Structures are given as structure tokens and as C-alpha cells.
Amino acid sequence: MKIAILTIGDELCIGQIINTNAAWMAQACTEIGGIVYRHVTIQDGIEELLYELNILSKECDCILMSGGLGPTHDDKTKETLIAYFNDTLILHEQTLQSLKARARLRGLPLNQRNMDQALVPSTCTVLENPRGTAPGMLFHVDDTIYVSLPGVPSEMKGIMQDHVLPYLRKNIEQEDGKIPYYHTILTKGIPESALADLIGAPEDFLQTDESLAFLPSYQGVRLRLGILSSHPDHAKNRLGELQTILHSKVGTYIYGYGNATLLSVTTDILIQKQCTIGVVESCTGGMLGAEFTKQSGSSTYFLGGLQTYSNALKIQLAHVSPKTLEQFGAVSKEVAEEMAIGGRKVLNTSYCLSITGIAGPEGGTEEKPVGTVWIALASEHDIVSKRFNFGGDRSINRERSVMQSIAMLHDALISRK
């Protein structure tokens, strides 16, 4: 099933918001065996949407739309679908009742704009939206599936999971053809080009319908193996064989597989070795703690931390010596190590990571330019620290500081007895 993802909205087009919906929808469709061959984002507008529907419907089996279903004048999707399918609006009683119930529950009046959201094209299947006011709509016309969903991420995701993905999966399973299977291998500590050299020409070990993609990121390079097959078992076995081949070439750089991340792999080892972690953060202001706690169940390994942004709090909370601060400055090996050692004692954890750096754009010097970051890791047994320079961008400096901290913890954990 060839799927196009069509996101609608001026705010997306002019870049005022980042298009997280398209990525989420694409990933969900890929997981059930759909082939997402294109994303398109267009402005709010009837002509724009009609033009795109005409193009995409010739090329693909399914068009997933999100956006343009809100209650204001710039929301045009429903009006456009009426024109495109030459349809008329009818009242959907169940939606009206749930709009009324929702307004009652929240003690809000129900205005005409809201009530109009219960009007739907007569030929669509209405997809309930308990998280919001505008229902989703599904049209299955001449072997092409059209789905229109709200732009609010939680509402879009809810309707996708409850209605759209099961419907698409059923249709994909009825197809005769091959569907894609993927397997991802995660590496760290080696640049893309060196990895490609070690792996050699992919055509030497890949057969027809097989592919290898290099996906670089701050966490390292992911190697994504792909295979088009009509037999799930064959695909699985063959992906296993290909993994073995890659393992023999670059095994020392592999830290995980599939949907794992450096974070999930690292915290799995923390749990398995019954260790805990705490943090002392300066330039990241709390990002490292936020990262450790983004997974459910994080209280098993993460106890807490100290956001010592000011020097006074570095002294007061993490017991950094005022002399060390004065002699070496806040961004130094010595202060980073004292932060981690002091933090570990206060937080009473197996490990403690500290980060102190010049995130920028202000505050750099010739000796310590913007992007200079010291990260230290204290354990029961020792203290290690590293200096990094991540360059001039404040948000990249902070993100990479978090990633490198987790990489240092991962290194320490895999060598832990």
C-alpha cells in the first residue's frame, strides 16, 4: 500500500510549528507494513487541497490528511472534501451528543461553531474523536482510501490508533504483494564514512529487494536494513542473517537494535545491575534529568538531581569548594568532578553525572570558547571526566551534552563487573 501523508496548515507551511504529526503518522504506517513514499505540506485553502488530492490520488492507495478541521474560518478541509467528492453535509447525531456532553462536563457553552463540527459528509465513515471536538472522516472510493484527521497531535494519534491503523492493516493484509520489513542496528563512536568503509559495498551482501540505509544522528549512526517480502518468516530470518553479517564487520560499535535508544539501552543496564543515577546540571538546567525520566518506570533508576545553575548553588547544594571555583572557573575539569562527587553523596546514588559548560551564545573566551563543556561521572569506585567542544549553537550544545553524558554512563556500565 503506497501511502502519502498530507499535512495542512499555514502555520506548518511558514514553519511556525514543527511538523511532528507527519513523522508520527509515517512511523505508525511503516510499522504496519505501509510504504510511505511522500509527505506533502500545503497552506490552508480549498484550491491548494483540491490540486493536491488530484495529484496524489493518481499515485497512491491511501492519502492521510491532518489539519484544517477546526472551528474557525481558515479551516477548509471539510468544505474541500465536500467539493472533491461532490458530497453534501449531514448531521451526525452521535457526534452532536458527545459535543453536548463534553461542553456540559467542562461547564462551557456550546456555540454554533462547535455544533457545526457535528456536520459531516454523507458518504464518509465518521471516526470518533473522544479527545476533541472535530471527528475524523474516512472515504474509501475506487480502491483509494482518504482519511482526514484533526491537526491537534493527541487527537490525531488517538483516532489513528483507534480506527485508521486497524483499517489500513486489514487492507494491507488483503493485498497479494510484498510488504516491507525493517530492522535497525544502532552504532556509536564511529563516523558515517568510516562505518561505510568497514561495511564495504552493500551489493556484495544484499540481494534484490534488500536495502541498507545509513541514518546519522547525535546519538550515532543507525543502520537500517530493509527487505520487501511476502513471507514474514522469510523476512525475519533474512534480516537476522544480514544482522550477523553486519555484526561481523562493525560489531564493536553496535550498542543496540530496533526501537532501542542509547537511553533505553543504558537504563536497561542500570536496572539489570541494580544501579541508580543522579545528576548535577549547570548549562543544561535540567535536561539530563528530563531525559532520564522521559521513560515510564524511571523511578527504578533515577532518584533525582540538583540544578546548580548559579555558582552559589554549586557550592551550597553540591558542595563544590569555593576555592576550586575561583581557581579553575565554573567550566573546568575540577569543578565538573567536584559536582559529580558531591552530587553522588547528597543524592545517595550509585552513579552521578555532572555537566558544566558554556552553552552560548554569550560567555565564551579564547581559552574556553562557546561550546566548551565538561562532563564528569562519579561512581562508588572512581571519577571520570571529559572535555567536549560542540560549537556555537546553544540548543545543540545542550542536546549534545545530554547525549554524551548518557554515552559516558553507557561506557562505564558495560565495563562494570
Binders of its own copies in range 140-169 (CB under 8 A): 152-154, 157
Query: For its own copies, what does the binding mask look like between residues 166 and 185, x meaning CB under 8 A?
Result: ----------------x-x-
Q: Which of 213, 237, 245, 365 binds its own copies (CB under 8 A)?
A: 213
CA atoms of 220 and 217, how far apart (whole Å) = 5
Binding to its own copies, residues 291-310 (CB under 8 A): 291-294, 296-299, 302-310
**Torsion, Cα of 293, 262, 213, 180 (10° steps):** -60
CA 46 vs. chain centroid, Å, equals: 31
Which helix (H) or strand (E) is 300 found in, with range? none
Q: Which of residues 369-388 bind its own copies (CB under 8 A)?
A: none
For residue 335, the tally of other CB atoms under 10 A from its CB is: 27
Q: Which of residues 91-120 bind its own copies (CB under 8 A)?
A: 108, 111, 113-114
Rule CB under 8 A: say whether 317 interacts with its own copies: yes
Q: How far is the CB of 180 from its own copies (least distance, A)?
A: 9
How many of the other CB atoms lie within 10 Å of CB of 53?
21
Binding span for its own copies by CB under 8 A among 90-98, 120-128, 209-217, 379-387? 209-217
DSSP string, 84-133: HTT--EEE-HHHHHHHHHHHHHHT----HHHHGGGEEETTSEEE--TTSS
H/E stretch holding 284 reads: none
Instruction: Return the amino acid letter for 375.
Output: I
Which range in 83-91, 232-240, 247-255, 395-403 contacts its own copies by CB under 8 A?
Answer: 395-403
Phi and psi, residue 311, nearest 5°: -65, -35
Q: Which of residues 231-260 bind its own copies (CB under 8 A)?
A: none
Residue number with CB closer to its own copies (69 or 139): 69
Give the shortest CB-227-to-its own copies separation in angstroms. Answer: 14
Using the minimum distance from each CB to its own copies, give the nearer residue, 85 or 309.
309
* Pairing state between β 144-149 and 62-66: parallel
Retrieve residue 31's grid coordinates: 510499522
Binder of its own copies out of 74, 209, 241, 326 (CB under 8 A): 74
User: What interhelical angle do 311-318 and 333-347 show, nearest 10?
Assistant: 40
Which residue of 230, 241, 395, 414 would you call a contact of its own copies, by CB under 8 A?
395
Residues numbered 19 to 58 that lie near its own copies (CB under 8 A) are 19-20, 22-30, 36-44, 48
Closest approach of its own copies to the CB of residue 52, in Å: 8
Give least dist CB 55 to its own copies, A: 8
Q: How far is the CB of 396 from its own copies (least distance, A)?
A: 6
- Cα–Cα distance measured from residue 193 to residue 342, given in angstroms and rounded to the nearest whole number: 41
Q: Cβ 342 to its own copies, closest distance in Å?
A: 13
Binding its own copies (rule: CB under 8 A), the pick from 73, 323, 381, 417 is 73
Q: How far is the CB of 417 from its own copies (least distance, A)?
A: 26
Residue 34 or 136: the one with the smaller Cβ distance to its own copies is 34
* Count of positions on this chain that bind its own copies (CB under 8 A): 107
| CB-CB neighbours of 241 under 10 Å | 10
Best CA proximity match to 238, nearest among 256, 250, 225 = 225
Beta bridge partners of 389: 372
Closest by CA position to 78, among listed 113, 107, 111: 113
Nearer to its own copies, 53 or 279 (CB): 279
Cis peptide before 369 (omega within 30 of 0): no
- Are the beta carbons of 125 and 137 closer than 8 angstroms? yes
DSSP secondary structure code for residue 135 in this structure:
P
Least distance to its own copies from the beta carbon of 290, Å? 4
Q: Give the shortest CB-18-to-its own copies separation in angstroms.
A: 4
Q: Which three cell numbers stand for residue 152?
A: 491537534
Residue 139 vs 187, nearer CB to its own copies: 187
